[in-house]
Structure 1
Amino acid sequence: MMIRNHLCIITIYFSFLIHSTLASPRLHFCRHDQRDALLEFRNEFPTAESFPSSWNKSSDCCFWEGVKCDDQSGQVISLDLSGKSLKGSLKTNSSLFKLQYLRDLSLRVCNLQGEIPSSLGNLSRLTQVDLSFNQLVGEIPISIGNLNQLRYLKLKYNRLRGEIPSSLGNLSHLTLVELPDNQLVGEIPISIGNLKELRIIWLADNKLCELFLENNKFEGTIPDVFVNATKLVSLDVSHNNLEGKFPKSLINCKYLRFVNVEGNLIKDRFPSWLGSLPSLQVLILRSNEFYGPLYHDHMYIGFQSLRVIDISDNDFTGTLPHYYFLNWRAMTTSTEESEEEYMENFGYYSRMYQSMEMVNKGVETTFERIRKDFISIDFSGNRIYGKIPESISFMKGLRLLNLSGNAFTGGIPQALANLTNLETLDLSSNKLSGQIPQDLGNLSFLSYMNFSHNFLQGPVPRSTQFQRQKCSSFLDNPGLYGFEEICQESHFPSSPTSHQSEELSEAEEKMFSWIAAAIAFGPGLFCGLVMGHIFTSHNQEWFTEKFGPRKIRVVTSAR
């Protein structure tokens, strides 16, 4: 009886379920007003065929390519048309702005033109805006300051002009601003200091959490407003026209990992206090107007996490104590990293790789990604003097060491031979004396070295690494010898430069060619006379019979 009751209940349940399924109309997730707005937006562009084929009235817009809807309300919350060639502009009254529940908007690499309409500020639920890699012009609209939920703002690689609107300081949730490679001008607004969630500020060539503003034309100073930016991890304002002091409030940014102010007019002393930041991995101050000593008494020398430092082409002076590099711990260990492991930042939506420029093996090199095991020191182009610190020999992970263009004296430390991972060594244009340590020839990874323009003496090591170097790597060391095979000539104090040698070589080659021509001329003339005699003599008929008549053919080429 009990079993029958259970079976009866189960039967009734499934009957009800089947009836409900058949009786209920099909559920439409997409709201009609949202679908119509999207189709109207499509028709605003001259190349509507660039939109996905799934965009049509007969299908549910929540299943269209690039569209996501809220599961409950059916409102469109995400629109991603990245890589679609729209070839048009965003209109002020665009139907796009009817999507009031939109959270994510990505129109990167869409060949968009014209200005960013101020109506964008009406989409108050936006958390991410990505309009990068287009041809947008005009100014960044002030109305963006109305997007109080915004976390990510990406406008890089456009043609935007004008100043950064101070209204960005209203966006309390903003963690990433990417504005590099535009034509922005003016000063960086002080209101950026209000952004406590900011992690990356990218202003180069024009990074807040990350502030990226590189490769623009910003002027004025970097505002000293980072007291509350405790989550900042990246600061890149390279290649602008910024001047004044280096912002000391960065000392509050305990998570800061990447700092790049290359190619500005910053005039300040070396920010040794950055050594107290436990996470700092990359410090690039090159090509500014920094000055003064790198070290002074009672100064703590930290940089425990630093992997890359480039302070080249400034006006640093003074000496370095023998223990200067002793506490640079990240450089003292050699780590085996896979090729995929690069310095990077993780955001809510994407992974960002750090990039930089640096002289590597004598060539200006752009690193689109920085390997974690690329440990490097570049102090070149300053006025540092005294002996090279012996503590540099503890940097077991070092791959690049460039101390060229200074005034270092004394000998090359023998202990440099302990740097078993070293690939590049540039000590040129100093006042170094003594011999080149023979043990440097045992560094199997050392592929580039330069000792030119010093006062070195004695023999050049005869290892394979040394024999593969250019002759110019040893020039202008009057007492240095033993690199005849490298330069392919005997080395005398009055020996010509490499350029002169090339000219001499060319002259000798021409002389040899003339001598060879003269030697060949005699027999050739004799043969010619004999053949001419045969041809014009009574044997002409025999010659013609044997070889047949010949016609002369002239070949010309169009130029």
Structure 2
Amino acid sequence: MFQGNMPLELFSLQSLEYLSLGNNQLTGQIDVLDNGSHLQTFQQLTNLSILDLSYNNFRGDWELDALLSSLTNLQVLTLSHSGISITTSNANHHVNPNIRMLSLASCSLKVFPVSIRALTNLQYLNLSNNDIQGHIPEWIGEIGKNHLSVLDLSYNSITGTIPNVYEDWSELEGFVLNGNRLQGKVPTSLYNCKNLRIINLGNNQLSDTFPGWLGDLPKLQALVLRSNNFHGGIDVTSSKVKFPFPSLRVIDLSHNGFVGQLPTKYFQNFNAMKNVVKNNTKPEYLSTGSTYYSITIAMKGVEQHVPRILVELTIVDLSNNKLKGEIPYILGNLNSLKELNLSHNSLTGRIPHSLGNISEIESLDLSWNQLTGEIPQSLVDLTNLEVLNLSQNHLVGHIPQGKQFDTFDNYSFGGNPKLCGLPLTKKCGEHPHELQLEGDGDEEESGFTWKVVVMGYRCGVLLGIVLGYLMLSIGRPKWFNAIADVADHMILNRQNNRR
């Protein structure tokens, strides 16, 4: 939490090799070169190999080519969110082969620096949160051919397609291009990047079918394709392995145009979402070396930026698509799942009792579907559940009581006219004629159904009229249904005996 200007004494230490002042509140004007003024400069610190000024409040306009030309021993340059603006004329193609890490997030860059083309030893490149426009250059595949592990170009104004030039990036672990205006398809050359852990292409304009071939990547832990124009079914036909996505912990396919059934086959193979062992002594994050992966996802109903992804964070978000059919029972096997969002689809059938086995779940959203039946009592045992949304379905009966269910409000259950009990104002059993069996249609609303007609035919016209009159007068309570079913059964048996 240091404040104030950078001490001028630092610039007299010509033998200084390592300078890390990141994550403070330092201010002041800093220049790269000495332009005849008395401003702080880095021109004389030619022995610097590591320079980290990230996450401060400095001022200054730095020309990237001039910086790399002056500090020829530099290996790590981290200026992300430092307050310093980076420009490049792209005139001086100075080669600095020693650069291993270049982090220039939120540095007001407007173009791809051509000078990074020759950085063959680059391992980490972060140009996110800038205003880079135009297409991704075809020469980007030349960067870091010997050990590039992370490429982050997120949150820019990049257009065009993603070039298919990544065959040589065998060490690539993070491929992050979310928050741009990219079109076209997912480049198939990523298939050769067997060390990939994170692929984040969300919030673009990609138009493609589900790239199931990514399931062949054995180390892939996070796949984010949200808010694009993906379409078709989520199937496994393009995968060449028997058990696709064995290491996947986060999958976000929300806000697309996927259709068909939920991908049961994938749910069976999400082994990294089953029986995750917690490390209670020290949090473990998904990272490469000292660099943490970050991600923006919908958590507990709110879109959040996660600067560090805990290894134990497991998320399935397939919301806002056109998926249909029933929720597969196999989902209950993902007992380490933290977030499950299947909202805004056309899912039918009952909520599986097996969801009560997901003991670690903190957020469950099944809203805006066409689910029927009662809410399973097993969900009451989900003691870690903080957010529950079952609204806007066709659920019926009593809302389970106790434990976490006592903490949820009307929002969790609204839009289900046949639900009753707390926290809703509608009490169960208060108006029996309103809690009728599902599926009987408009005939039940009048109190007269075809059961009366059939019973009248079998039992005699007089008995049918009497029973029909009673039903019209007092509704159709449960005890009447039971008597009618027994009487119907007895008459059938008698007819069979006569035959």
2:49 corresponds in structure 1 to 103
Given the alignment of the two structures, is residue 354 of structure 1 paired with residue 293 of structure 2, yes or no? yes
Distance change in 2, residues 1:372/1:298 (3 Å):
closer
- 1:539-554 aligned at under 5 Å gives the runs none
Q: Which residue of 1 aligns with 2:135?
A: 187
For the residues of structure 2 that align with 1:345 and 1:456, how far apart are their CA atoms?
43
Q: CA deviation at 1:250?
A: 1.1
Q: CA distance change for structure 1 residues 426 and 80 in 2, over 3 Å: closer, same or farther? A: closer
Normalising by structure 1, report the TM-score.
0.69
Partner of 2:103: 154
Is the 8 Å Cα contact of residues 286 and 292 (structure 2) preserved in structure 1? yes
2:191 maps to which of 251, 264, 280: 251
Of 210, 213, 218, the match for 2:158:
218
In the alignment, which of 223, 227, 230 is matched to residue 170 of structure 2? 230
DSSP-derived class of the 2:355 partner: helix
Letter in 1 for 2:138: I
- RMSD after superposition: 2.8
Larger radius of gyration: 1
Do structure 1's residue 332 and structure 2's residue 264 form an aligned pair?
no
**Partner deviation per Cα, 1:265-285 (whole Å, 9 max, x = no partner):** 111111111111111111111
For the structure 1 residues 245 and 339, does the alpha-carbon distance in structure 2 shift closer, same or farther, using more than 3 Å as the test?
farther
Distance in 1, matches of 2:87 and 2:319, equals 39
Shift of 1:80: 4.9
SS at match of 2:161: coil
Q: Deviations over 1:472-529 (max 9, x none)?
A: 2212223322x2x3134548899xxxxxxxxxxxxxxxxxxxxxxxxxxxxxxxxxxx
Give the match for residue 3 of structure 1.
none
Instruction: Report the Cα distance in structure 2 between the residues aligned to 1:80 and 1:181, rounded to whole angstroms.
Output: 22
**1:339 and 1:371 in contact (8 A); partners too:** no
Q: Which residue of 2 aligns with 1:479?
A: 418
Residue 478 (structure 2) aligns with: none
3-state SS of 1:118 partner? helix
Aligned to 2:287, which of 330, 335, 345? 345
Question: Deviation per CA, 1:394-443, whole angstroms, max 9, x where unpaired?
Answer: 11111111111111111111211111112211111111112211111122
User: What residue is the counterpart of 1:287 in the other structure?
Assistant: 227
What displacement does 1:460 show?
1.4
Query: Which moves more between the two structures, 376-385 or 241-250?
Result: 241-250
Distance in 2 separating the partners of 1:55 and 1:150: 22
Q: Distance in 1 between matches of 2:31 and 2:118?
A: 27
Change (3 A) 1:262 1:145: farther
Contact preservation (8 Å) 2:362, 2:386: yes
Report Cα offsets for 1:359-392 as digits up to 9, x if no partner: 2222222222222112111100001111112221
Q: Structure 1 404/340 Cα, relative in aligned 2: closer, same or farther at 3 Å?
A: same
Q: Return the letter of the residue paired with 1:149.
A: N
Specify every segment of 5 or more residues in structure 2 that has no aligned partner in the other structure, as ranges: 435-499
Structure 1 pair 148–419 and aligned structure 2 pair: CA distance change class (3 A): same
Amino acid of the structure 1 residue aligned with 2:234: L
Spell out the pairing of 1:471-510 with structure 2 (5 A cutoff).
Answer: 471-481=410-420, 483=421, 485-490=422-427
Q: Which residue of 2 aligns with 1:535?
A: none
Partner of 1:52: 7
User: Which whole-Å deviations, capped at 9, do the CAs of 1:71-103 have from their partners, x for residues lacking one?
Assistant: xxxxx5445565553414334758744555443
- Please tell me whether the aligned partners of residues 337 and 373 of structure 1 are also in contact (alpha carbons under 8 angstroms): no
Counterpart in 1 of 2:65?
A: 118
Per the alignment, do residues 210 and 378 of structure 1 end up closer, same or farther by CA in structure 2, a change over 3 Å counting? same
Deviation sequence 1:218-237 (CA, Å, 0-9, x none): 11122211111010111111
Matched-pair contact (CA < 8 Å) for 1:150–1:173:
yes
Post-superposition CA distance 1:222-272 (Å, at most 9, x none): 221111101011111111111111111111111111111121111111111
Equivalent pair of 1:81/1:110 in contact (CA under 8 Å):
no
Give the Cα–Cα distance (whole angstroms) in 2 for the partners of residues 269 and 345 of structure 1. 29
- Amino acid in structure 1 at the alignment position of 2:51: L
What is the DSSP-based 3-state SS (H/G/I as helix, E as strand, rest coil) of the residue aligned with 2:27?
Answer: coil
Superimposed CA distance per residue, residues 33-59 of structure 1 (whole angstroms, 9 cap, x where no aligned partner): xxxxxxxxxxxxxxxx94437559xxx
How has the CA–CA distance of structure 1 residues 329 and 89 changed in structure 2, closer, same or farther, with 3 Å as cutoff?
same
Provide the identity percentage.
34
For the residue of structure 1 that corresponds to 2:195, the secondary structure is coil
The one-letter amino acid of 2:29's match is K
2:164–2:187 CA contact under 8 A, matched in 1: yes
**Residue equivalent to 2:495:** none
Structure 2 Cα separation of the partners of residues 211 and 431 of structure 1 = 41
Q: Deviations over 1:57-78 (max 9, x none)?
A: xxxx6xx5xx6x3xxxxxx544
> Partner amino acid for 1:164?
F
Are 1:392 and 2:339 an aligned pair?
A: no
Residue segments in structure 1 that go unaligned for 5+ positions in a row: 1-48, 70-75, 200-207, 495-559
| Aligned with residue 87 of structure 1, among 20, 29, 50 | 29
The one-character-per-residue Cα deviations of 1:17-45 (angstroms, maximum 9, x if unpaired) are xxxxxxxxxxxxxxxxxxxxxxxxxxxxx
State the structure with bigger RCO (CA 8 A, min sep 6), 1 or 2.
Answer: 2
Q: How far, CA to CA, are the matches of 1:236 and 1:298 in structure 2?
A: 23
Distance 2:400 2:229 in 1: 38
TM-score, structure 2 normalization: 0.77
Please tell me the residue identity of whatever aligns with 2:181.
N
